[in-house]
Amino acid sequence: MPDPAASPDVLVIGGGPAGSTAAALLAEQGRDVMLLEKDTHPRFHIGESLLPRNLGIFDRLGVRDAVDAIGVFKPGAEFVSDATGRRITFNFRDGLDQRFTHSYHVERAKFDALLFDTALAKGARAKQGVRVTDVAFVPGGRARVTARPADGDEFTLAPRYVLDASGRDTFLAGRMKLLQADKNNNTAALFAHFRNVECRTGDQAGCISVHLAEDGWFWFIPLPDEVMSVGFVGTQRAFKARQGSTHDFLFDRIDRSPTVRARMREAELCSEVRTAGNYSYRARASWGEGYMMIGDAFGFVDPVFSSGVLLAMSAAELGAEVASVWLDDPARARTLARRAERLMAGSMDRFGWLIYRINEPVMRHLFMSPSNFLRMRDGVVSVLAGNIEQKRGVNVPLVAFKTVYHVFSLAHRLGLRAHIASAG
């Protein structure tokens, strides 16, 4: 007779925000869930700034007060231009959705551990320090999953459904050769934690700062205990010019940016310098018979608007619904999975439209000189807050903003061509 412990209803691969959220929601419904995490909490992770729309999910999980206790209050996002020295702040309270007007910055080690513990408290079974090494799907039957603990013997599980929340390991997408790099946004990042970095005060206290620099941008994320997360996300051109160590390259980019350099005159490095490459990608499909990919396991976009955790946890809600329905009605679950894939891809596209253009002169100009004609500025604030649904109240301002962008871009291109022609 099969071991019930080895035959869960749902196996969740990965105990980050996506995996822990999905496991918690499924366990709450009474489903037998096994959650496997390759590392051991708490562990370092980047992606420390959250969005207001995360708050609704925190409420559904019952963790908002706990997040508030470990986080730094985040009222909005500040953009700073190296080219002009100008600063502008987008406060979440000015967005179109007045239900969620703030968010938090968190140490991901504590935040991810909180979500993992929440899944356990709601009834999910879990193992840490266990890496999934192989999976085989059987049409109409249970999958066969092989896993290996860091300090033990290999074992197998036979779940009825698999949710891949393996993050940037992209376990299923990689094995199935479904990954495709996003050629619109070929960037990489390097980052570290510092002390004694100049912080914003007053109404801007707690805002994430995005410094628009040459060949990329910097983030400044205030964390607890007066620590600042500082990272540089650069284009291919920036990284091709790299010389020396990762440490030297980060400090060279800091020195090249006048606005960043000014804030870090007395900064002291208090962590190692880390890197992340191939920032943007997406799987060609997110689901199949008996499985679904959620969060970064499906796709990832540049973090300039702090969308990673929101997209992961939103996808987890969709994935949990698909998995639960699959256990009772696979035909209906297939319909839900198609819808979930459209929603996940659509959300990434809505962030992506702005992200792919953040290094362009026209988009930077519009961000630094925002107009609220037809509530365009408020619409942009709503996207920055994570309001990514296809709703008329948000669509009209964003369509107006996109129209202005395209008009300005055309004028910019025509003006550049005229300048080249006259110079010739």
Tens-place pLDDT, residues 336-356: 999 999 999 999 988 888 888
Give pLDDT, residue 1. Answer: 32
Q: How high is the mean pLDDT of the chain?
A: 92
Give pLDDT, residue 277. Answer: 72
In the chain, where does the domain assigned CATH 3.50.50.60 lie?
A: 4-71+106-181+280-353
Give pLDDT, residue 59. Answer: 97
Task: Tell me the backbone φ, ψ of residue 167, rounded to 5 degrees.
Answer: 70, -145
Give pLDDT, residue 4. Answer: 55
Confidence of residue 244 (pLDDT cuts 50, 70, 90): confident
Is residue 25 a contact partner of residue 316, using CB atoms and an 8 Å limit? yes
In the chain, where does the domain assigned CATH 3.30.9.100 lie?
A: 188-276
Closest CA to 35 of 9, 18, 7, 11: 11
Look up residue 16 and give its two tokens.
């980050």
What would be the CATH architecture of the domain defined by 188-276? 2-Layer Sandwich (3.30)
Tell whether the model's pLDDT for residue 5 goes beyond 70.
no
Give pLDDT, residue 235. Answer: 87
Confidence of residue 2 (pLDDT cuts 50, 70, 90): very low
Give pLDDT, residue 424. Answer: 45
* Run of H or E residues at 19: helix 17-28
| More confidently predicted of 387 and 306 | 306
Q: Tokens 């008329």 sit at which residue?
A: 392
Give pLDDT, residue 396. Answer: 84
Confidence of residue 11 (pLDDT cuts 50, 70, 90): very high
Give pLDDT, residue 26. Answer: 98
Segment 100-104 mean pLDDT: 95
Closest CA to 361 of 412, 398, 302: 412
User: Above pLDDT 90, what percent of the chain?
Assistant: 72
Superfamily of domain 4-71+106-181+280-353: FAD/NAD(P)-binding domain (3.50.50.60)
Burial class (CB in 10 A: 0-12, 13-18, 19+), 353: middle
Per-residue pLDDT tens over the stretch 362-401: 999 998 998 888 888 888 888 888 876 666 566 788 888 9
Per-residue pLDDT tens over the stretch 252-278: 999 999 999 999 999 999 999 999 876
Burial class (CB in 10 A: 0-12, 13-18, 19+), 243: exposed
Q: Which residues contact 385 (CB under 8 A, 6 or more apart)?
A: 51, 52, 53, 92, 95, 97, 100, 101, 103
Segment 78-101 mean pLDDT: 92
Segment 399-423 mean pLDDT: 77
Report how many helices (DSSP H) and strands (DSSP E) the chain contains, helices first.
13, 22
Least reliable range by pLDDT among 34-38, 94-98, 246-250, 392-396: 392-396
Give pLDDT, residue 262. Answer: 97
Per-residue pLDDT tens over the stretch 145-167: 999 999 889 999 999 999 999 99
What letter would DSSP give residue 117?
Answer: H
HSE-CB of 151 using CA atoms within 13 angstroms: 5
Look up residue 310 and give its two tokens.
């929101």
Other CB atoms within a 10 A radius of the CB of residue 263 amount to: 22
What letter would DSSP give residue 308?
Answer: H
